[in-house]
A and B are shown apart, each in its own frame.
Chain A
Amino acid sequence: DAGITQSPRHKVTETGTPVTLRCHQTENHRYMYWYRQDPGHGLRLIHYSYGVKDTDKGEVSDGYSVSRSKTEDFLLTLESATSSQTSVYFCAISEDSGRGFFGPGTRLTVL
């Protein structure tokens, strides 16, 4: 398995609170991504990163911010969580060859 972990794996929070999800890799891959999976939507790209401090928006970026201060860590922040952000969040990493891997996911519930 690729060296990619996500924390926490499960979280329940209340509407309006900030939440940060962490993706950590030990593969030294340059590219990192955050996706969310919802019933009836498949996976949708939230944000991605081309390298340290180099990030960009994906398809569903509203309400989310990201940071990447180290190669190995990519943080996803929900600045003020809403019930519509209840979802399963997946981090992915990829290398220049195009080969990529997904993390195990974080299940987030916003009450």
Chain B
Amino acid sequence: DQQVKQNSPSLSVQEGRISILNCDYTNSMFDYFLWYKKYPAEGPTFLISISSIKDKNEDGRFTVFLNKSAKHLSLHIVPSQPGDSAVYFCAASVGSGGSNYKLTFGKGTLLTVNP
């Protein structure tokens, strides 16, 4: 049973527009959420995270929103750039301490930003 779901396998947007990537989770114990970006033949790279005590976290062009009641989070990229084209993974864990990098991942969404 998939505990973290990314229901859109792919997303295509125009350069300069907003990209919105969505993620749903089913495990109520999850209290820390992360987004990773992955290029082919490379390891995932951490983008941004959010704790369940917050509903929004912002870092430059990247903003993550968390709706705990809906068990839903989203990553907004504004403005989107061609270099943002990659696979984006949503991940969740119980706790945010170092020992809790035991992450449960979604299947990923391939974002393509067209010039």
A42:B89 contact, CB within 8 angstroms: yes
Q: Which residues of A contact B105 (CB under 8 A)?
A: 42-44
Q: In whole angstroms, what is the CA distance A100 to B104 when docked?
A: 14
For A102, give its contact among B6, B41, B44 (CB under 8 Å). Answer: B44
A41-B107, A42-B89, A42-B107 known; A102 and B43 CB under 8 Å?
Answer: yes
Cβ-closest chain B residue relative to A90: B43
Q: Is A101 interfacial (CB-CB < 8 Å)?
A: yes
- A94–B45 contact, CB under 8 A? no
The answer to whether A105 and B101 touch across the interface, beta carbons within 8 angstroms, is no
What 0/1 pattern do residues 25 to 60 of B give for CB contact below 8 A with A?
A: 000000010001000011111100000000000000
CA distance A94 to B98 in the complex (A): 5
Q: Which of B43, B44, B97, B102 has the most CB of A within 10 A?
A: B43
Are A42 and B43 interface neighbours, CB within 8 A?
Answer: no
B46 touches A101 (CB 8 A): yes
Interface set of A (CB-CB < 8 Å, partner B): 29-31, 33, 35, 40-45, 48, 50, 58-59, 90, 92, 94-105
